[in-house]
A and B are shown apart, each in its own frame.
Chain A
């Protein structure tokens, strides 16, 4: 038995070296989108903690967080948007970083239509984001009851399995290594980020339809799987707000502008979810001093396709316009 344990240990150690070597080769040849998200998370959190002494405001949540441009809000702020991040993760991060951010007095939290029906731990395609949370945050505790993902996430740092296990089964890596031209994903964007890239109206509308359907389906699936999820998210949000208010931090909830076709299609499929989301925010406002600004159907932005990089994300120009409008309303100098 002892001999077996020794051999297993050596086998795992050598295996770790091999896995890390393969991960390095794969990332060098053809970076995996999933591991790019992890790298972004790690970079964002490191940067935030590095600038903790001057940061006055943070925006944190899913990718809709990036609708905020602190330059246009004219404040020292830092966005921590995590693509596909859910409320449990947002709350978890806030509770761990806020004690280190002594200067922060304002927190922006995006609320999407589907925010109350998101739980990455319950969706197999999105579990990886939960693992990324634990891999990127220097904390040895987990979201309540989430020990399995915590262990896997922590092991990612020294055993990058998710970099070796690729959706394309290493096709991109081999193609890159042997200089085969991979099939490029159709690039629908016009212009680049600096020029405020946007899609043609027809393509943006098609994207809106498919994105809204995807979000609605996710909410339905999760509601069927976890009927109590809505309440759990509500409780988590309320608890997070209380945590921030106890530290005299101003809490600003917002729903960013979405392209009109996205909202229309979402409403067609599931108006109830949107209504429920707004009712929940109202209920929280009744018990806590928080602000909520709903820009989801702002006419100036929502009807202008050139302000969107895709149907539910603003491009640089859209972010600038939205942030300026938000600044006028919230008056950060008060």
Chain B
């Protein structure tokens, strides 16, 4: 109950009245699931599931998408000079709504499928919905993983607490030292793209790739670490995504909780890959389009999603082509070199899509795309001068350190590696982490990128 109170207080410290949304959503799904558990009738269970889906997606639509679709329809009507009088819905987007609605939806669907028993304890269920470490930006937890943990007696475990604190420290390092420094340069270019051509657009795009990774994975690490300190295990949300060797591999490493959610609750129900070839491609595109829309109410996110859909389809087509190649042709390059090329290509495909994700409008995105190779006529410098050479050194050094850690993690978890070292090495690393955050971190009011979703 303490954790539930703390979680509600945490959410209310942003905007108190919006706690009502979480409470209503919690109550609806709690009672719907209980009824589904009592009902033998498949048709009645389906109707109850529909209530849950409608209410959760209804809240999401009202607060997040109504104005987007309304504006799009208005633009269409204006194009044909037809009067359109539906006003905009003046409301602030509730923080974390995309995350907790998906989390409660997964619970309702799992109960419907019989995978999860309905939770009878309202307080425990409310805690599942609102657990503060992952409430505002994930990971989107499954009920079968998180709910049972609330019934376990939590005892203090030294190693687990230390690991949780280290993970939080690493998250703060990624956010404050890397992401927030990168945001200065990225914002300078992406908020005024027409002032730049060529190299600055490349640099800002690469930097955004690292900014969004460090920002989001940094938050995830803080959330997972905080939960760990309290004795709870949350799912891993990132697994060195820029080491992916294909787009499918990328989505097994990036925002894992969301991509598995879409796989289990949208892709598989649509038929997945157990359908005709064209239906399979269509399923992939639908999933990525919805994923794009989930990220934001803007056509740039839809295009971002569509690009990944196209990548996924092409990779399936290419996989077939690759399978049919003679073995001799497949082994022309050394496997390590082949892996490097795959990582390089995948990274650039992802970066190209990030252009649309970050751009403030489709016009800006198209400008950037069409001016990537337009020479180096610069009216406002490279865009890097806002950070200065010193700021750039911090960024490059911190990213290099992060990637070294990632490379080492391919062999063994850093925490296991540290645990095996003598105390003076461990404490040296801890102090270095804390002091580098204090010395090189950007403090002040900076939001986490994924809070806007």
Binding site for B on A (CB under 8 A): 1, 3-4, 11, 14-15, 18-19, 22, 124-125, 161, 164-166, 169-171, 174
Contact = CB atoms under 8 A, between A and B. Distances in A.
A170 to B, nearest CB: 5
A127 to B, nearest CB: 10
Interface stretch (B258-266, B311-319, B413-421, B434-442): B434-442
> Which one of B156, B161, B390, B435 has the greatest number of beta carbons of chain A within 10 Å?
B390
B434 to A, nearest CB: 7
Given A169-B390, A169-B394, A4 B156 contact: yes
B450 interface: no
Interface residues of B, number: 21
Nearest to A170: B439
19 contacts: A1-B156, A1-B158, A4-B161, A11-B430, A14-B431, A18-B431, A18-B435, A19-B438, A22-B435, A22-B439, A124-B444, A124-B445, A164-B435, A164-B439, A166-B439, A169-B390, A169-B394, A169-B442, A170-B439
Contact of B441 (A14, A165, A174): A165
Given A4-B161, A11-B427, A164 B438 contact: yes
Interface of B: 156, 158, 161-162, 388, 390-391, 394, 427, 430-431, 434-435, 438-445
Contacts, number: 42
A251 B155 CA distance: 61
A101 B438 CA distance: 40
Contacts of B443: 165
A18 B156 CA distance: 29
Given A4-B158, A171-B390, A165 B431 contact: no
B445 A161 contact: no
A164 B435 CA distance: 9
B63 to A, nearest CB: 23
A19 B388 CA distance: 26
A170 B440 contact: yes
A18 B391 CA distance: 24
A43 B398 CA distance: 39
Given A11-B430, A124-B444, A124-B445, A165 B435 contact: no
A55 B147 CA distance: 68
Given A15-B434, A124-B445, A170-B439, 15 more contacts: A1-B156, A14-B431, A19-B438, A22-B435, A164-B435, A164-B438, A165-B438, A165-B439, A165-B443, A169-B390, A169-B391, A169-B394, A169-B439, A171-B388, A171-B390
A161 B437 CA distance: 12
A124 B391 CA distance: 22
Contacts of A11: 427, 430
A161 B438 contact: yes
Nearest to A26: B439
Nearest to B430: A11
Contacts of B391: 169
Contacts of B158: 1, 3-4
B299 to A, nearest CB: 32
Contacts of B440: 169-170
A11 B156 CA distance: 19
A169 B444 CA distance: 13
B15 to A, nearest CB: 13
A184 to B, nearest CB: 15
B203 to A, nearest CB: 20
Contacts of A171: 388, 390
Given A3-B158, A169-B391, A15 B431 contact: yes
A39 B166 CA distance: 35
A19 B442 CA distance: 18
